[in-house]
A and B are shown apart, each in its own frame.
Chain A
Amino acid sequence: MTSSLHLPIAAYAAALALTAGAGSAAEGELAVFANGEALAKEGFTAPELTRDGWELRFDRVLVTVEDIAALQTDPPYDAEDGGEPKAAVTVALDTGGPVTIDLTDTDDDGRVPIGSTTAPEGHYNAVAWSVVPAKAGDWTGQSMVLVGTATKDGKALPFTLTSKDTHDYVCGEYVGDERKGFVTAGGAADLELTFHLDHVFGRADKGADDPMNQGALGFDAFASGGEQAIELAGLHIGHVGEGHCAVTFR
């Protein structure tokens, strides 16, 4: 099960040459962004504290991603059912291997540009990617690193949370203020890998019986501060806007 979704992702990358080599279809530009939304950029602040009442502000939210692929699927991919998407066209984003991004270091639109590629026209209604351990840099071996300050009852606590987990995502269509992924000849379109940190820490403004809060870790477990490992297995961090993804942890 762990590898069942990863193998297609690797195949997506291989499909790039087939797609790009075809050369007959009209093409446009497809850009891919990451987005940690306000919870990464501005932190967990009242009333959106963690489920256990911590305020969190992040200096860095590092995520290492690779094997990013955009797909035109028919039928539309159903992330709840999972399985392999039926893609007619697959375009892989060449990042040159794992790339580490900081979800707090955004552009004016609050997003982190990852890269872009030419792509045959059509609607890219599914996307796949993996979160993997970094192979270089200060945090080699870590796939996610969250650095910041937690505050509760007037006490501020610097923290660094590190994860080595590898998680693979296959998602359907982006859900948000606008539909995304429509590539036209000579036009430009974009897709977004969205990271929901409230699935990690929960939200105090939601009820204790909220399903997300029941699964979230909260921050009490890390209240000793400093650098600690965090286990993310089973958490649905990756989304496409508000849309959900199928996720597997390796």
Chain B
Amino acid sequence: MPSPSAKATAPKLATTGLVAMWLLAAGPAAGHGAFVDVTETRAVAIDARYDTDEPMAKAQVTVFAPDDPAKPWRVGQTDTAGRFVFMPDDRAGRWAIQVRQAGHGAMGYVDVGAAAGMTLTSSATAGLAPMQRLLMVACVAWGCIGTALYFRRATRATVA
């Protein structure tokens, strides 16, 4: 069992699903208006923190796709709250997310299913409290529901 001292230095990586607003700007090049397609889709949100609850702010994030797990699919950085959001493509399988900072690191995993686009089925999270686990599940469910709520909205804008 990890000692309290070392356990306190261990980073925690929580992987959750959420609904993200996906904005696509499109419209006629010389028209009288501009259109914005607004699509609700699912994304994966990383909540990286130490088990002192201190966020892993500005930590290095590397995402690995299921069919090429040794090669980084995307690299980035958490924000000041230790969060990072990405939207997997249509490849089903286990996506892996690595977060590193100052000699500490952790892996998180998200299984993305092929049915109905994507389904977040599980995640490996280190040492989450029960309430945090419940929150994670709720977010995943919300994401699944949100997939059906695709909508399109055209917004007219004046072009100078």
Contact = CB atoms under 8 A, between A and B. Distances in A.
Given A81-B126, A173-B107, A211 B70 contact: no
Interface in A145-203: 172-173, 175-176, 178-179, 182, 199
B103 to A, nearest CB: 6
Contact of B107 (A81, A172, A211, A216): A172
A212 B96 contact: no
B147 interface: no
Given A75-B124, A241-B105, A211 B8 contact: yes
B5 A215 contact: yes
A246 B10 contact: no
Nearest to A74: B94
Interface in A78-92: 78-82
A41 interface: no
A234 B5 CA distance: 9
Question: Which bracket fits the contact residues of B?
Answer: 20 to 34
Interface of B is mostly: mixed
B33 interface: no
Contacts of B5: 211-212, 214-216, 234-235
A80 B105 contact: no
A80 B7 contact: yes
A123 to B, nearest CB: 7
Contact of A175 (B4, B7, B8, B105): B105
Nearest to A241: B105
Chain A CB within 10 Å, residue with most, of B2, B64, B69, B124: B2
B108 to A, nearest CB: 9
Nearest to A178: B70
B52 A211 contact: yes
Given A175-B100, A176-B105, A212-B6, 10 more contacts: A76-B109, A80-B10, A80-B51, A173-B107, A175-B107, A179-B69, A211-B52, A212-B9, A242-B103, A246-B1
Interface of A: 1, 75-76, 78-82, 123, 172-173, 175-176, 178-179, 182, 199, 210-212, 214-216, 234-236, 241-244, 246-248
For the complex of A and B, 7 pairs with smallest distance between CB atoms:
A215-B5, A211-B8, A236-B6, A242-B105, A175-B105, A80-B127, A80-B126
